[in-house]
Amino acid sequence: DAKTTQPTSMDCAEGRAANLPCNHSTISGNEYVYWYRQIHSQGPQYIIHGLKNNETNEMASLIITEDRKSSTLILPHATLRDTAVYYCIVVGSDSWGKLQFGAGTQVVVTP
Amino acid sequence: GAVVSQHPSRVICKSGTSVKIECRSLDFQATTMFWYRQFPKQSLMLMATSNEGSKATYEQGVEKDKFLINHASLTLSTLTVTSAHPEDSSFYICSASQYGIANQPQHFGDGTRLSIL
């Protein structure tokens, strides 16, 4: 599966949109982009995933560039409860859907 | 939403004992379940993939005789840490996927914090 690169940390202001970037320049055509987050001492939480098109759900939006080499997770109105480590993971179609976690981005939402 | 329950949430044992951790999918049937380990200030590391009714597939470097995985039903997988030692102390997390395919998210339990004295 393709590797991903994310910033180590980001600070966001409460109530503002949080834009989390992810690079996956070696992604192949049948690989999905997934986002999970982990709040301290809990299991990870699924946020959103996509293949080519932009996706939106009740938690976030996922914007994938046309060449699929990068993506951005958007939390439209960050709250203090969004403070977590956010993981961008590429998942191949021949891998049972297994996830290989990188270091992720530590997001801190401040009042 | 999909709920995965993990039990126990915390366990403290003496060195040399075996510890069993259960992972249950409560509102869906999980063809595939995964086990991860996480050390302090580190990311999750995939240990193994288990498909219902089959032997687990272990990641490189994970001892299959040390970490016994059973996935006997579509709603239950167990991880047994055999003859546990202090270096096995860690946060163990399971996840479940209904069909084990790339276009379907995994849903995670809340983890088990294992401390071996």
Determine contact: A39 vs chain B, CB below 8 A: no
pLDDT band per the 50, 70, 90 thresholds, residue A1: low
Return the residue of B nearest to A48 by Cα. Answer: B105
State which amino acid sits at residue B17.
Answer: T
Which burial class, exposed, middle or buried, applies to B34 when counting CB atoms under 10 A from its CB (0-12, 13-18, 19+)?
buried
> Which candidate, B21, B1, B17, places its Cα nearest to that of B77?
B21
Using CA atoms, how far apart are residues B21 and B46, in angstroms rounded to an integer?
Answer: 16
Mean confidence (pLDDT) of chain A? 95
Task: Check CB contact under 8 Å for A44 and B43.
Answer: no
Chain B residues with beta carbon closer than 8 angstroms to that of A93 = 101-103
Q: What is the pLDDT of residue A97?
A: 86
- Cβ contacts of A32 on chain B, cutoff 8 Å: 102-103
Is the pLDDT confidence value at B23 over 70? yes
Which tokens hold the place of B57? Answer: 């597939």
If you measure CA to CA, which chain A residue comes closest to B91? A41
Give the pLDDT of residue B69: 95
